[in-house]
Structure 1
Amino acid sequence: MRIGLLTDGGYPYAAGQSRLWCDRLVRGLTQHDFDVYALSRSAHQEDQGWVELPHHVQRVRTAPLWAPEDDGRTYGRRERRVFASHFASLASAVCSDGAPEAFAEGLYGLAGLARERGGLYAALRSELAVRTLESACRAPGARRAVHTAAVPDYLAFTDELERALRPLSLDWYGDDSLGAVDLCHAASGGTAALPGLLAKRFFGVPLLVTEYGVQLRAHYLAAYDAPLAAPVRALLAAFHGCLASEVYRQASVITPGNTHARRWQEKCGADPARLRTVYPGMDAERFTAVGEGDDSGDPHTLVWVGRIEPAKDLIALLHAFAEVRKEEPEARLRILGAPVTAPGSGAYLAHCRALAAQLFPDEAADAHAVGDNPVSFEEIGGPEAPDLADAYAAGAVIVLSSVVEGFPISLVEAMLCGRATVSTDVGAVVEVIGGTGLVVPPRNPRALADACLALLRDPERRERLGAAARARALELFTVEQNLAAFRDIYLELISHSPVRRDSDAVDGDGEPVPFATPAEAHVPGHWTGGRTRPRWAEPASVNAAAAPGGPDV
């Protein structure tokens, strides 16, 4: 089977949210060939290069969403009329609570125009687009939030819209690209799934959408801090809502990573019959030594592991630990964070260090030490910090204090290490824990402190919860169960899809030619011709794109 893997800001780039699970998926399903169609989010991401690709990744096509992609084409009078008609349908659906059919008509109409004529970049930034959008915003029945939009708002929205719709203008929709795959697998919803929508529209290729974090929810959270006017935020939220609904409507199967994501998808119109929960797969082997009988952790130490950012609410954790310290003077807190790279994370880390020094003024002389200082800030992988497994092994209780969380990866890792956990009730935490840890309300330092004290004072309970947590994690959250689920879904989808034959295996009437495909073509490997041709048999442009270092630019 030939899989078109669609990613947005992730695999095969060395940095990105979907990189790890996509890499495990591709390496675990060696019986299939993969073509990767990747959208990049920044020049920095592209400069970091790609991960090493396995041999059955046949080709990689990339496109940036961060740089201008003007093809230099403009429309004549006829094309402008066609564009205005389709853009009016899309704008009307975005500006009002219009029917999904209007959004789909506009979206696919613009895609067809871009495929035939190009020029969508200039058209979406033209005066015609602004006038059309203005009419939609002021039409009867338009959302109240967009009535006050002015020309600067229209320009800001069309600029954001052009970036979101940039996949419509790519040269990925031909018989030798997405038209040649058996199945499109989008690694997230939203923009990443757009090429899959067009592959289904133009070629009938089935679409599978996986969302471990709901893209629409991520957009809502990001838009809150975006420096955009209220009408622009309202228009963007409406557009992404319409796009999510269309993706869910067209996908043959949708695989949320947890029940929290599933509820979002159902609220956006996803058919429950098409939803299959597939938990992310974690590498359990790296935690085996810790999980199987390692009791070397300090029984008085709490450990926090993750990315240091405001959503993790380390402020509440530090206040909670101050309460713990009052009742258990020997207690310690080790905060082990990933290297700080996100904008604003450095300032938040500095604020947390300052708070720790304020809460423990007589003991926080050295914010990096672990010795007599009750709170330490360490970097995972740093010269003096432990690796990930040793980080979890360092203490008796693992704490998660987030106020916003999707699927809590660090919690699963702690469970694989057989550690008792205290977590806040956010995202998929309760679903992951399943009764094997303590859960408290978010933003409640007193409740967090009480739960930590309960486990610090009861080693037998810690041991029971840790053993149950590891058993649950091994049953539900391993790479093996993840691969088995997708292997079955791939086969199910292809069994319900029309047979797709190579052009050289059929005659003029579309009937199969006897013995056109040799039996050896079905043997795993890349030494045969046809669909399993080796990489050196690809065109030169494809060879360049498939190299581990990426295309020369």
Structure 2
Amino acid sequence: MKICLISEGAYPHVTGGVSSWIQSIITQMPEHDFIVYSISAKELKGAKPKYTLPPNLIELREIHLGDYLDQAIVTGKRYKLTEAERLAFLSLMSNRQTDWDVLFNFFTSGRIDSVMNFLGSKDFYDIVTILCEKRFMQVPFTDMFWALRSMLLPLFVCIDQKVPVADVYHSVSTGYAGVLGALAKYQYGKPLLITEHGIYTREREEEIIKSSWIKGYFKDVWIDYFYSLSNCAYQYADDVSTLFEGNREIQLELGCPPNKTFLIPNGIDVARFSPELRATRPGIHIGAIVRVVPIKDIKTMLQAFALVQETFPDSNFYIIGPLDEDEDYYDECLDLIDTLDLQNVHFTGPVNVTDYLTFMDILVLSSISEGQPLVILEALAMEIPFVSTDVGGCRELLEGPEDHYGPAGTTVPVMHFHLLALEIIKLIERPESRMTYGQNGRERVLNRYTLHMMIDRYKSYYEKGERHGRNRISTEASV
């Protein structure tokens, strides 16, 4: 079977949970051929992969969005839009209900010579004019024109592509990857699975609300636009999976049909994470396995570490993960360390994580948004207790989805560094709790979150998917 995985901004050039998940899916199913269709920024063009590409990855096809900005533009052309096409474009820019069949047909018909030319055409100019007259009379036309152009360019670049031919399509988010999966469904009629690790629409909504570069009156436009992309993915998908019940409930709120939804939790290879590998070192060793980027909120973690160090001066803090994804943010973190006069902080960069898990006493996560972090599962498999912000599925992993294994750590509200510090201090002071939490966590992982369980569920889906999604996997059967 040939399976096409469609991802956005991740594999194989960026490390992290989603990329590791993709690598596991491919390597654990050597009997199937895989295509990875990856959407990424221009800066990653020609970048060396961060993963060893498996032999059954028969094609890696990439869309580098920034490439199109270098194209010459012929402005003022006409593409003879039908009324249905004009309405479809208008609805894409102004509400969440869009006739995607019409848009897909337009972009796959061969009628446009260039996405850039279309965005500079009289047709696009007319559509923006109508939108301004109906909804944004107080907004300067030039502001609206350039805002919509920048908003729509990545989408139009994606759906102007020829999607690889496969037996099953699996988009690893909604958003642009979800729309590409929908386009594949439209073109080839093959089954489409959407998997959401985090809820893409909500994550983009939070970013837009907090952003300073989007003017206030455009924020609603951007938010509606991303809701429209998710609705497209949900509409065309045969099935929509996610990692835990909380995410599924959000999918239903966003309009995903209940009969399409089911759960497949993450899983890890527990054989790689044995407590027997652990060896105690003098002092206190607290770690965070993270990318140094704003969504991981490293600054809150550092503020918490400063409070911990006031009580335990011999404590050591390890921030384990790549430093180069947002160099400005990394520099800001270094400045904060100086301001706090924080000692014994070690930024490791890319390393073998298992080497550090062997001597960690406590692991920490201070993220603003998460799905179901693999790093928590890996720590629990090593019997390391965890303190995390209460985001995504973290509480479920640490406290259990109404199971009998007992707590494996604690959660605190986002950005509350003093509460994060308090929970770390409690665990330092109570070694017996650390031991109990660790044992509870390993039992939970062994019985609910193994790689074997996860792979078997996806294998089952792919086999059923070959029958064009007619036999759905129920939520109950997947948990």
Q: Identify the TM-score tier after normalising by the shorter chain.
A: 0.7 to 0.9
TM-aligned CA deviation for residue 482 of structure 1: 1.9
My pick for the range that moved more, 126-135 or 6-15, is: 6-15
The yes-or-no answer on 1:267 pairing with 2:262 is no
TM-aligned CA deviation for residue 167 of structure 1: 2.1
SS at match of 1:81: coil
Q: Mark the CA change 1:163 to 1:321 in structure 2 (over 3 Å): closer, same or farther.
A: closer
Contact in 2 for aligned 1:258/1:278 (Cα 8 Å): yes
SS at match of 1:254: strand
- Deviations, residues 226-281 of structure 1 (Å, cap 9, x unaligned): 62333443322211111101111211111113334323322221122211222233
SS at match of 2:68: coil
Q: Mark the CA change 1:491 to 1:450 in structure 2 (over 3 Å): closer, same or farther.
A: same
Residue of 114, 117, 129 corresponding to 1:122: 117
- Counterpart in the other structure of 1:168: 159
- Counterpart in the other structure of 1:294: 278
Equivalent residues in 2 for 1:28-43, closer than 5 Å: 28-43=28-43
The yes-or-no answer on 1:422 pairing with 2:387 is yes
Which whole-Å CA distance do the structure 1 matches of 2:61 and 2:313 have between them?
56
- Deviations, residues 92-142 of structure 1 (Å, cap 9, x unaligned): 353146xx2x442543343344x4554443112323212212312432xx4
- Counterpart in the other structure of 2:403: none
Which whole-Å CA distance do the structure 2 matches of 1:381 and 1:203 have between them?
40
Which whole-Å CA distance do the structure 2 matches of 1:53 and 1:314 have between them?
30
The yes-or-no answer on 1:339 pairing with 2:311 is no
Contact in 2 for aligned 1:88/1:133 (Cα 8 Å): no
Residue of 287, 303, 312 corresponding to 1:303: 287
- Counterpart in the other structure of 2:476: none
- Deviations, residues 370-423 of structure 1 (Å, cap 9, x unaligned): xxxxx32231457xxxx4223233332222233433333332221121112222
Equivalent residues in 2 for 1:239-250, closer than 5 Å: 239-250=225-236
Which whole-Å CA distance do the structure 2 matches of 1:13 and 1:403 have between them?
23
- Deviations, residues 432-474 of structure 1 (Å, cap 9, x unaligned): 2123212223333443333223222222221111011112123
Which whole-Å CA distance do the structure 2 matches of 1:117 and 1:444 have between them?
51
Which whole-Å CA distance do the structure 2 matches of 1:388 and 1:76 have between them?
55
- Deviations, residues 181-220 of structure 1 (Å, cap 9, x unaligned): 2211112221112232122223211111112122223322
Which whole-Å CA distance do the structure 1 matches of 2:234 and 2:124 have between them?
27
Residue 321 of structure 2 aligns with an amino acid whose one-letter code is: A
SS at match of 1:495: coil
- Counterpart in the other structure of 2:103: 107
Contact in 1 for aligned 2:295/2:369 (Cα 8 Å): yes
My pick for the range that moved more, 86-95 or 463-472, is: 86-95
SS at match of 2:147: helix
SS at match of 2:392: coil
SS at match of 1:255: strand
TM-aligned CA deviation for residue 298 of structure 1: 4.4
Q: Which has the larger radius of gyration?
A: 1
Residue 202 of structure 1 aligns with an amino acid whose one-letter code is: Q
Q: Mark the CA change 1:107 to 1:264 in structure 2 (over 3 Å): closer, same or farther.
A: farther
SS at match of 1:46: coil
What is the TM-score when the length of structure 2 is the normalising length?
A: 0.85
TM-aligned CA deviation for residue 315 of structure 1: 4.1
Residue 374 of structure 2 aligns with an amino acid whose one-letter code is: I
The yes-or-no answer on 1:402 pairing with 2:367 is yes
Which whole-Å CA distance do the structure 1 matches of 2:54 and 2:360 have between them?
38
Equivalent residues in 2 for 1:126-525, closer than 5 Å: 126-139=121-134, 142=135, 148=139, 150-172=141-163, 177-178=164-165, 181-223=166-208, 224-225=210-211, 227-288=213-274, 291-292=275-276, 294-298=278-282, 300-326=284-310, 328-329=311-312, 331-343=314-326, 344-357=328-341, 364=343, 375-381=344-350, 387-433=352-398, 434=400, 435-496=407-468
Residue 89 of structure 1 aligns with an amino acid whose one-letter code is: A
SS at match of 1:132: helix
TM-aligned CA deviation for residue 4 of structure 1: 2.2
SS at match of 2:104: helix
Q: Mark the CA change 1:476 to 1:45 in structure 2 (over 3 Å): closer, same or farther.
A: farther
Which whole-Å CA distance do the structure 1 matches of 2:443 and 2:355 have between them?
20
- Deviations, residues 506-536 of structure 1 (Å, cap 9, x unaligned): xxxxxxxxxxxxxxxxxxxxxxxxxxxxxxx
Residue 187 of structure 1 aligns with an amino acid whose one-letter code is: V
Percent identity between matched residues is: 22
TM-aligned CA deviation for residue 341 of structure 1: 1.1
Residue 464 of structure 2 aligns with an amino acid whose one-letter code is: E
- Counterpart in the other structure of 1:27: 27
- Deviations, residues 305-348 of structure 1 (Å, cap 9, x unaligned): 3233444444444444454445x445513132323112322222
Q: Mark the CA change 1:235 to 1:490 in structure 2 (over 3 Å): closer, same or farther.
A: same
Which whole-Å CA distance do the structure 2 matches of 1:17 and 1:398 have between them?
16
Unaligned runs of 5+ in 1: 365-374, 499-553
Which whole-Å CA distance do the structure 2 matches of 1:149 and 1:266 have between them?
37
What is the TM-score when the length of structure 1 is the normalising length?
A: 0.74
Q: Mark the CA change 1:395 to 1:221 in structure 2 (over 3 Å): closer, same or farther.
A: same
Which whole-Å CA distance do the structure 2 matches of 1:300 and 1:269 have between them?
47
Contact in 2 for aligned 1:36/1:60 (Cα 8 Å): yes
Contact in 1 for aligned 2:74/2:120 (Cα 8 Å): no
Contact in 2 for aligned 1:298/1:394 (Cα 8 Å): no
My pick for the range that moved more, 35-44 or 459-468, is: 35-44
Q: Mark the CA change 1:336 to 1:157 in structure 2 (over 3 Å): closer, same or farther.
A: same
Q: Mark the CA change 1:254 to 1:438 in structure 2 (over 3 Å): closer, same or farther.
A: same
Residue 10 of structure 1 aligns with an amino acid whose one-letter code is: A
Q: Mark the CA change 1:458 to 1:187 in structure 2 (over 3 Å): closer, same or farther.
A: same
Q: Mark the CA change 1:306 to 1:50 in structure 2 (over 3 Å): closer, same or farther.
A: closer
